[in-house]
Amino acid sequence: MKAIIGGTGVDTLDGLSLKRSMVQTRYGEVELFITDQLVFLPRHGSSHSLPPHLINYRANVAALKDLGVDEAIGIYAVGSISQALSPGEIGIVSDFVDCTGGSREHTFFNGGASGVRHCAMDDVFDASLRERMNILAPHIKDAGVYVCTNGPRLETKAEIRLYGRLGCDVVGMTLATEVSLLKEAGIRCLALAYSINWAAGVGQANVSFIGDAETAVLKEEMTQLCCKTLLSCSN
């Protein structure tokens, strides 16, 4: 089973006959949309009611694992810090920096009955998934390094300057927590980012977001690309 995880601007998956299902896990209940081969998980809920710092990431990933998901592609709306990815462009994330502050439940292994496990993050994203996506979209950009902030507030200009000096290219609020748990669960993953704005202090005086029409076009392109990538070698 394969999964697409969507967020801001991608709370629904159009063009597929998806059946809504509520899956109960030890961490809580999760809303999913399922076909025979594909699971769609709206990380903020289908009504986009969950802010990034309050998402039940452990329940989300546990639900995918319980359904037998072995590969997942997450779609992430980001702000652009460097020229690696400009607003309105799509790219594959290469790595991440976690600046959420450790306030979230970001591991399945908290000691006690769950034990302790140190998950290697040398290779965060799956090389096979990236190769398959690159074959389908050979001109897709490298989005570079994603810095994950806690949210829900946007970042200050000083923070963005700092992240840029650290070598970060795009900024968002969900990837680090989600991907860390996917890795712990043994689910191979890839991150597809699309930029909706220049980050604070980059290129213009104030943060300005791309329009709904442009977002809708990007959503269609990204969901089609994710489906083709995941199902190209599905058994």
Cβ–Cβ contacts within 10 Å for residue 160, how many?
24
pLDDT of the residue at 102: 78
pLDDT value for 158: 96
Residue 233 confidence (pLDDT): 64
When divided into structural domains, the chain yields a total of 1
DSSP bridge pairs for 191: 74
Q: What is the pLDDT of residue 10?
A: 86
Residue stretches of the chain with pLDDT short of 70: 110-112, 114-115, 205, 233-235
Tokens of residue 117, six digits? 């496990």
Range of the domain at 197: 2-231
- On the 0-12 / 13-18 / 19+ scale of CB atoms within 10 A, 12 is middle
- Say which residues have a Cβ less than 8 Å from residue 115's Cβ, sequence separation at least 6: 109
Is 0.85 surpassed by the pTM of this model?
yes
Q: Which of 217, 219, 86, 81 is nearest to 154 (CA)?
A: 81
The C-alpha torsion from 63 through 66 and 72 to 76, rounded to 10°, is 10
Q: Which CATH number do you get for residue 166?
A: 3.40.50.1580
- The pLDDT of residue 235: 46
